[in-house]
Amino acid sequence: MTSYSSTSSIDLSTHFAGLPLQTPLVLLSGCVGFGEEYTRIEGFSNRDVGAVILKGTTLEPRMGNAPHRVYETPSGMLNAIGLQNPGARYVIDEILPHLPHDETQFWANANGSSLEEYAEVAAMFDDSPVTAIEINISCPNVKEGGVHFGNDPIMAAKVVEAMRPMTKKPLITKLSPNNADIAKTARLVIEAGSDGLSVINTLVGMAVDTEKRTPIIGNISGGLSGPAIKPVALWKIHQTRAVAAKHGVPILGQGGLTNVHDALEFAITGADALGLGTGLFYDPLLCGKICEGLRSYLEKHEMTSYEDLVGSLQSCP
């Protein structure tokens, strides 16, 4: 598939937290493993991707939750993987050296069950080839740490405060839609040193086996992603846009983006970059199609760059 980011007068490049991205598309944590999964698909090109966020990583290895861990729902997917990963040291020593850093950027996704663990993971990734660190304070699938930090604005800020002195790399805080006041959380994490925001993480949901009368997900609840949550994601981006813009902090919009129309909605609402997750399961070659669609839209509306489109939402007539 042709890489559209470099073959047209339409400029799809953008900047995010001081980083130059060749396109606004970011592959989200947990959906492409540690960055190697989609390179095996014929027609996939990293040149269509601004950055890849690695699978959520903790200080020590984790086995993850008991099955079932994934379940398809109408217009979406529930997952409760439980941050299965080999630990930060293994990722840094054994995985990162083999990734194509010359083709796109790779960002870490840091997780912890204590402030000290978050800080240590940040310090480890600071001495690695990743160009940014996303902070997962809002994962609803881990019983210790995740939900508490993500749903408490003050604790969310404390996580950023703990990590900020440990790294010079941009920190991007992933906000939970389950938070009662997402704008307040956005403000506090920015004041604590966050260079960017990921909006939003999954919603909490569950599914039931009516024959057995038991939860289908082994963890009982899971994170709901996919098209079903897109309206929520757009609203949360709208809620955080003013705070982010006031501080000059960009938003990575995510949650149900599966086609170019969705991408346009996210950009117009205020997403400086576009996160693709569950949509890649629908169509592994989605990135090139979205790049092509963005170029066509921008040309039609006499815009020359993706940045012209971001935050262009108008008031109702």
CATH fold for domain 4-63+83-202+226-308: TIM Barrel (3.20.20)
Q: Which of 36-40, 217-221, 262-266, 270-274 has the lowest mean pLDDT?
A: 36-40
State the CB neighbour count (10 A cutoff) for residue 29.
Answer: 29
303: Cβ contacts below 8 Å, ≥ 6 apart: 10, 309
Task: List pLDDT tens digits, range 225-271.
Answer: 999 999 999 999 999 999 999 999 999 999 999 999 999 999 999 99
pLDDT exceeds cutoff 80 at 166: yes
Closest CA to 70 of 225, 175, 256: 225
CB under 8 A, 24+ apart: contacts of 28-32: 28/53, 28/254, 28/275, 28/276, 28/277, 29/53, 29/54, 29/55, 29/56, 29/109, 29/134, 29/136, 30/55, 30/56, 30/79, 30/81, 30/109, 30/277, 31/276, 31/277, 31/278, 31/280, 31/281, 32/280
Q: pLDDT band for 1, please (50, 70, 90 cuts).
A: very low
What's the one-letter identity of residue 285? L
Q: Are 202 and 225 in contact (CB under 8 A)?
A: yes
pLDDT exceeds cutoff 60 at 161: yes
pTM of the full predicted structure? 0.94
224 backbone dihedrals φ, ψ, rounded to 5°? -90, 125
197-232 burial: b if 16+ Cβ within 10 Å, else e:
bbbbbbbbbbbeeeeeeebbbebebbbbbbbbbbee
pLDDT exceeds cutoff 60 at 276: yes
The tokens 């890849």 sit on which residue?
52
Closest CA to 47 of 74, 27, 31, 33: 27
The answer to whether residue 316 is catalytic is no
CA distance 199 to 197: 6
316 backbone dihedrals φ, ψ, rounded to 5°? -65, 140
